Amino acid sequence: MVRTYGCQMNEHDSERIAGLLEMDGLEQTDSFDDADVIVLNTCCIRENADNKLYGQLGNLKKLKEERPDLQIAVGGCLAQKDREIIQDKAPHVDVVFGTHNVARATGLLAEARISGPITEIIEESEVFPSALPVKRDASYAAWMTIQIGCDNSCAFCIVPAVRGREISRPYNELVREVEELAASGITEVTLLGQNVNSYGRDLTLKLRGGELPPDAEDLAGKVWVAGSHTARPLFSDLLRSVSEVEGIRRVRYTSPHPKDLRPETITAMAEVAEICEHLHLPLQSGSDEVLSAMHRGYTADRYLAKVHAARLEIVDLALSTDIIVGFPGESDSDFEKTLEVAAEARFDNAYTFVYSPRPGTQAAELVDKYVASSVASTRMERLRKVIERSSRLGNESRIGHSEEVIVEGRSKRDPNILTGRTRHNRLIHFPANRPIRAGSYAQVNVTAARTFNLMGELVEVTASPKHRTRIPVVAS
């Protein structure tokens, strides 16, 4: 069993861990009680992630006592950060491994069966997660890591410490992987990176100046090799190349940094039909003073200018964001500015968080500037109302539209209702009087809107999935 905490990067790593375990002869289960191996893939971005992990490990202690052969492993960002602390607090854990040695997960479990508990943390990645076997929950959509690490120094973020410096995968390797994904029936690809739109900057920095090596095109792509050889991100080039792969119908990406959102990326989104009209652009705060203290590298006006430029060029753009409430030193005036920017940006969705200090970050040291939890909670409630209002209005604007939807499956609440996702990444529910396979594309008329989802009527199925459905055979 693999349990995931945190972001899409962790989800993607978990797919690879599950793939390795399956190759080792194990089968996935959804029950702790039935599992022979339990892997907790952790996040350390926020404090409650620590609490969830240690709470879960406490619950598993009794299970381990009842079944000594059960193996428990902890991986991911919190493992990278806490290292030996995890086994000090939970000695019943067999293996602790970090973000850079996912490929060693099954090997470490095998070693632990012989020699006892193991903690192995390395500082540089042995292999990109995407190069490992995979076990996906969805057979029609895939995440692809194009870059690991981050070179930014946001005061609240522990990612550079646990994921390391920015390292981009070779350009043509990524295109080949998408070709393989498409050949297997994948039609939607999401490009992943801690700062995804700076992809390739490290590659071109190394290649610029002097004679290009023989593998330059493999590393940076033919567009860059044929151009001026300046040091620049390759993200817009990659978006176009991925979209050109036969069989790929939708391309998404997350998460970009506002300071690195370049005009050529916006133009690619506007010009290329396969790139979804959805931009996730983390704001974090609407106060220039707070943004400066966060080391974000932009002002509220510059952020809004990026948003306006994107909306001018990309027809019918949906916008989502991340916002932190109660960053150390945030005043009432600072928070009011965040409300103003949120209202002007008209976010369709937002992931909002009350600031929690992460040891090892600069912001965690600003103890004398911490915002009282009661104040932060009140501010969060006010922000939630602003976001929900713009989300509801955005959804209501879709009523009467015909949306292209990728079918995700049946609703958990009502098996007669199908659930799908629009190009804007909006969830939509609609009745269907016949079975429609997950991964199918359909046109759905939007008939009603709620704060966080849409309701619709099926018009027609426009494409069926190419992947094969496994039918279990029971021998009599």
Q: In this structure, which long-range contacts are made by residues 109-114, counting pairs with CB atoms below 8 Å and at least 24 apart in sequence?
A: 109/37, 109/71, 109/73, 112/71, 113/71
The answer as to whether 377 is a domain residue is yes
144: domain CATH number is 3.30.750.210
* pLDDT number for residue 473: 42
* pLDDT number for residue 476: 36
Report whether pLDDT(184) > 50. yes
Which domain, by its residues, includes 434?
402-463
Q: What is the C-alpha separation between 456 and 474, in angstroms, rounded?
A: 38
The answer as to whether 471 is a domain residue is no
Instruction: Point out the least confidently predicted range of 65-69, 159-163, 289-293, 343-347.
Output: 159-163
Same domain, 265 and 173: yes
Residues recorded for the chain: 476
Q: Does the CA dihedral 375-381-385-391 come out positive or negative?
A: positive
The answer as to whether 265 is a domain residue is yes
Q: SS3 for 429? A: strand
**Number of domains within the chain:** 4
421: domain CATH number is 2.40.50.140
Q: Which of 112, 117, 45 is nearest to 80 (CA)?
A: 45
Q: What is the C-alpha separation between 335 and 323, in angstroms, rounded?
A: 11
* pLDDT number for residue 286: 98
340: domain CATH number is 3.30.750.200
User: Per residue in 213-238, is it b (16+ CB within 10 Å) or e — as a string?
Assistant: eeebbbbbbeebeeeebeebbbbbbb
Domain boundary among 230, 257, 276: 276
Q: Does the CA dihedral 44-49-54-59 come out positive or negative?
A: negative
Q: What is the C-alpha separation between 426 and 405, in angstroms, rounded?
A: 9
The answer as to whether 470 is a domain residue is no
Report how far apart, in Å, the C-alpha atoms of 150 and of each of 44, 176, 383 are.
15, 24, 28
* pLDDT number for residue 475: 42
Q: Tokens representing 271?
A: 């010009």
Same domain, 198 and 269: yes
The answer as to whether 191 is a domain residue is yes
Same domain, 198 and 284: no
Same domain, 28 and 75: yes
Same domain, 232 and 142: yes
Q: What's the Rg (C-alpha) of the chain?
A: 23
Same domain, 53 and 109: yes
Domain boundary among 58, 85, 120: 120
Q: What is the C-alpha separation between 307 and 389, in angstroms, rounded?
A: 19
* Burial environment of residue 27 by CB neighbours within 10 A (0 to 12, 13 to 18, 19 or more): exposed
Q: What is the C-alpha separation between 163 and 194, in angstroms, rounded?
A: 9
The answer as to whether 436 is a domain residue is yes
pLDDT tier, 133 (very low <50, low <70, confident <90, very high otherwise): low
Mean pLDDT of 168-188: 95
Same domain, 233 and 362: no
Q: Across all residues in the chain, what is the average pLDDT? A: 89
Domain boundary among 276, 308, 328: 276
Same domain, 269 and 149: yes
Same domain, 153 and 229: yes
Entry pTM? 0.81
Q: SS3 for 462? A: strand
pLDDT tier, 79 (very low <50, low <70, confident <90, very high otherwise): confident
The answer as to whether 177 is a domain residue is yes
Q: Which of 75, 20, 21, 31 is nearest to 53 (CA)?
A: 75
Same domain, 217 and 116: no
pLDDT tier, 111 (very low <50, low <70, confident <90, very high otherwise): confident
Q: Which residue has the higher pLDDT, 96 or 132?
A: 96
18 sits in which H/E element: helix 8-23
The answer as to whether 354 is a domain residue is yes
Same domain, 91 and 216: no
DSSP 150: -
Same domain, 331 and 203: no
